[in-house]
Amino acid sequence: MTKLCLIGYGKMGRTIHQLAKSKASEVVSIIDPNLPEYASRITKEALQNADVAIDFSHPAAAISNLKTLIELKQNTVVGTTGWHDRLSEITTLAQQARIGFLYGANFSIGMNLFSRLITNAVEVFDSFEDYDLYALEKHHAQKQDSPSGTAIELANLILAASGRKNKVVWDKLERRPEPDEFHFASVRGGSVPGTHTLYFDSPADTIELSHIVRSRATFAHGALMAARWIADKQGVYSFSQMIQEILC
Ligand SMILES: NC(=O)c1ccc[n+]([C@@H]2O[C@H](COP(=O)([O-])OP(=O)(O)OC[C@H]3O[C@@H](n4cnc5c(N)ncnc54)[C@H](OP(=O)(O)O)[C@@H]3O)[C@@H](O)[C@H]2O)c1
- Rounded to the nearest 10 degrees, the angle between the axes of helix 62-71 and helix 87-97 is 10
Same fold, 2-107+216-247 and 109-212: no
Task: State the distance from the centre of ligand 1 to the C-alpha of 239, rounded, in angstroms.
Answer: 18
Atom number in ligand 1 closest to CA 111: 3
CB 98 within 8 A of CB 76: no
Testing ligand 1's pocket by substitution, the residue of 18, 43, 57, 139 carrying the most ligand atoms inside 8 A of its CB is: 57
| C-alpha neighbours within 13 Å on the C-beta side of residue 68 | 16
Atom 31 of ligand 1, residue of closest alpha carbon: 61
Q: What's the pLDDT at 246?
A: 86
Ligand 1 contacts (CB < 6 A) are: 7-13, 31-34, 56-59, 61, 65, 79-82, 104-107, 219
Testing ligand 1's pocket by substitution, the residue of 18, 32, 41, 58 carrying the most ligand atoms inside 8 A of its CB is: 58
Domain extents in the chain: 2-107+216-247, 109-212
* Alpha carbons 21 and 110: distance in angstroms, whole number: 22
Atom 21 of ligand 1, residue of closest alpha carbon: 10
Atom number in ligand 1 closest to CA 59: 45
Q: What is the pLDDT of residues 74-125, one digit of tens each?
A: 999 999 999 999 999 999 999 999 999 999 989 999 999 999 999 999 999 9
The number of helix segments (H) and strand segments (E) in the chain equals 8, 11
Q: What is the pLDDT of residues 181-226, one digit of tens each?
A: 999 999 999 999 899 999 999 999 999 999 999 999 999 999 999 9
Q: What is the pLDDT of residues 215-230, one digit of tens each?
A: 999 999 999 999 999 9
Testing ligand 1's pocket by substitution, the residue of 6, 9, 12, 103 carrying the most ligand atoms inside 8 A of its CB is: 12
- Amino acid (one-letter) located at 68: T
Q: Given pLDDT bands bounded at 50, 70 and 90, which one contains residue 144?
A: confident
CB 78 within 8 A of CB 239: no
Atom number in ligand 1 closest to CA 62: 31
Task: State the distance from the centre of ligand 1 to the C-alpha of 57, rounded, in angstroms.
Answer: 3
Query: What's 109-212's CATH class?
Result: alpha beta
Range 2-107+216-247 classified under CATH 3.30.420.270: no
- The pTM of this model reads 0.87
Task: State the distance from the centre of ligand 1 to the C-alpha of 233, rounded, in angstroms.
Answer: 25
* Active-site amino acid positions: 139, 143
